[in-house]
Amino acid sequence: MSSHNLDVRIDPDRCVRFGKCASVAPGIFMLDEDTAKAYFDEETLATADPKMIFAAARACPTQAIQVHQFGRRVYPQILTPMVGEGGIESDEPGDGD
């Protein structure tokens, strides 16, 4: 576990080689030469400035980098769809009946 209690995960299916994470946080995030997918070294990440980790995660256009803290995902945020906003149908009586 890192000193800042951040758990960083890279979704290999979402990582499509833009390399923006490596541009924003060089030495923390790198691109694998064979797969061109992003990766990081656990020891380097453990001592990295959390601002740099979040900056790299925000720079990823596909949101392939997830940041968790204390077992909860903090980036990217999981947004709950709002009822009645074109997302979830409501079965409540009187809702459009």
Question: Does 96 or 84 have the greater pLDDT score?
Answer: 84
Q: Give 32-69 pLDDT, tens digit per residue.
A: 999 989 999 999 999 999 999 999 999 999 999 999 99
In the predicted model, what is the mean pLDDT of residues 13-24? 95
Long-range own/partner contacts, residues 25-34 (CB < 8 A, 24 or more apart): 25/52, 25/53, 25/55, 25/56, 28/52, 28/53, 28/56, 29/56, 29/65
1 falls in which pLDDT band (50, 70, 90)?
very low
Domain 6-75 classification at class level: alpha beta
Could you state, in order of their start, the residue ranges of all structural domains in the chain?
6-75
pTM passes above 0.85: no
pLDDT of residue 97 exceeding 90: no
